[in-house]
Structure 1
Amino acid sequence: MFKTVGRCAVASVCFILLMPLAAQAHFQLVYTPEVNQAAAGDVPVKLIFWHPFENGHVMDMANPIEFYVIHRGEKIDLESTLSPTTFTGSENSAAAFDGTLTLKRSGDYVMVVVPAPYYEQSEDIYIQQITKSYVNRNEIPTDWMEAQGLKTEILPLNRPTNIVAGSTFSGRVLSDGQPVSGVEVEVEYMAAEPDMANGRPKEPTAKPMPGGAIVALTDENGYFTFGIPKAGFWGFAALGSGPDKEFNGKELSQDAVLWVRAYDVK
């Protein structure tokens, strides 16, 4: 039997299902525009809490609890690279952070941010989106296929830095290292990518789907699959998949977020 989790009630099912929800999707970003790199050196990164599909409301980020990268199994702290900034979407401006990822050896760089819980007044709950994003140097795979031991995370089953647009992406939702069934996984397209220089979004390349957020449900072993229809950045948020359910006396939705990059075949 599936568990019912997340910010919206769902029915128990025995297969992966796609369905729309009415609410806008909150998504924590760990963003850099070029995820496949050849040269060593510093790569700029932005941490933004936003609604990137509709270029909607931006939420204020507090100082992250943790920001680091895993490279060849080694954890490297990145908090010292962070500086406060402002990101301005179509509706408002909010606190965000600029950071730096330093590439040295070839391989995967798995960036992880553990943000402070955010109070969502309209739902009277806290949201904490533990987020993974990937950069690769020289096309050599080293870390992307490994779980990183987070309270909750999505383990990618396809290489996240070069998904083929028109193919599928599969992931497995974990909580304390164990698969979680019946979890709502919101799917988000980064229609308006951030402009790294001026802290604003670029022009949107797509419009949100009618009917609200796109959602997949994990099966009895925690797996989900989604067809990637378009090149660009795609985000997946497993709602309420984490073990922590309360913060400051209120409900906490501890979500696992994963970003992947898709490309057209030319």
Structure 2
Amino acid sequence: MKKTLLAAVAAAAFPAMASAHFLLEYTTDTMIEAPGDVPVKLIFWHPFENGHVMDLEMPEEFFVIHRGEKTDLKPTLEPVRFTGGENEGAAFKGSVPVKRSGDYVLVTVPAPYFEASEDIYIQQITKSFLNRNELPTDWMEPVGLPTEIVPLNKPYNVLAGSTFTGRVVANGAPVAGAEIEIEYMAAEPDMDTAASSTPVTAPPPGGAVVAVSDDNGYFTFGIPKAGYWGFAALGSGPVTEHEGKDLSQDAVIWIRAWDLE
């Protein structure tokens, strides 16, 4: 039976091996000043603890939405290697053309990844956000993905110490009782060296940080620290099987929080 909690934030105790997988669409900034091509790296990783890097296959889709128009970015992708704190894995680098003012909603639909330790496939359909010249245009609109998290706060300038609210949907309908794992990018990719930085903090005790969506698909989380935060609604998508095995089709969103100065 699914749980229903109003604006719930909960902690769940998982063993260390169950630490969160997260697909990153990493750019060094979310606020873009000058027009041009913004470098991006796609990495499947455990950035909170600078943990294991999973091999990423060529995504099924990689595109950007700007002013309601979709641009295919898959031709920009090139395979690279990425080194985390534990190992090296296959990743991709690409670019996002940022010219006009407004929001740029970056979307990756990866190929399902087989997690042998759990005997399941994982597909993390991921969104992140860039903005040029502080003009909001697209951030609050659903993209129309099989499953996604729609932000209710402008996701590229959330204030540390405030809250972030999102809504989990599948085929446009709210998902009640979705388990949402929450990840801090304590270690960030270095765009030049293809390796991770030193983590700035350690994960909290008790395993993965988890929220649960309410009857209408909403969840709220208090943002304690500036930086990049990821939210993954586990198994929220409509597809539950791939090549004869269970599939966890997850909705992932990355936001950027800032300290007031």
Alignment TM class, shorter chain as reference: over 0.9
- 2:12 maps to what in 1? 20
Q: Residues 194-235 of structure 1: CA distance to partner in whole angstroms, max 9, x if unpaired?
A: 000011111111101111000000000000000000000000
Q: Which residue of 2 aligns with 1:33?
A: 28
Secondary structure of 1:233's counterpart equals: strand
Residue 194 (structure 1) aligned to one of 186, 189, 214: 189
Check if 1:104 corresponds to 2:96.
no
1:19-39 deviation per Cα after TM superposition (whole angstroms, max 9, x unaligned): 223120000000101110111
Query: Displacement, 1:104?
Result: 1.1
Give the RMSD, CA atoms, in angstroms. 0.8
- Structure 2: tracts of 5 or more residues without a match: none
Deviation at 1:17, TM superposition (A): 3.7
Matched, 1:166 2:161: yes
1:83 aligns with 2:75: no
Write out aligned runs for 1:170-189 (5 A).
170-189=165-184
Instruction: State the AA in 2 paired with 1:165.
Output: A
Query: Does 2:119 match 1:124?
Result: yes
Confirm or deny that 1:215 pairs with 2:203. no
- 2:82 counterpart letter in structure 1: F
Match of 2:132 in 1: 137
SS in structure 2 of the partner of residue 200 of structure 1: coil
> TM-score, structure 1 length as denominator?
0.95
2:231 aligned to which of 230, 236, 241: 236
Structure 1: 4+ residue segments shifted above 3 A: none
Q: Count the aligned residue pairs.
A: 257
Q: Which moved more, 1:12-21 or 1:63-72?
A: 12-21
Contact 1:21 1:215 (C-alpha < 8 Å) held by counterparts: no
Does structure 1 conserve the Cα–Cα contact (< 8 Å) formed by 2:166 and 2:220? yes
Q: Deviations over 1:101-138 (max 9, x none)?
A: 11111000000000000000000000000000000000
* Structure 1 counterpart of 2:74, one-letter code: E
Runs of 5+ consecutive residues of structure 1 not aligned to the other structure = 5-11
Alignment partners' CA distance in 2, 1:96 and 1:38: 27
* One-letter amino acid of the counterpart of residue 174, structure 1: V
CA distance in 1, matches of 2:9, 2:105: 29
Q: Could you state the TM-score of these two structures normalised by the residue count of structure 2?
A: 0.97
Which residue does 1:153 correspond to in 2? Answer: 148
Quote the sequence identity (%).
64
Q: What is the alpha-carbon distance in structure 1 between the residues aligned to residue 13 and residue 127 of structure 2?
A: 24
| Distance across 1 between alignment mates of 2:11 and 2:204 | 11
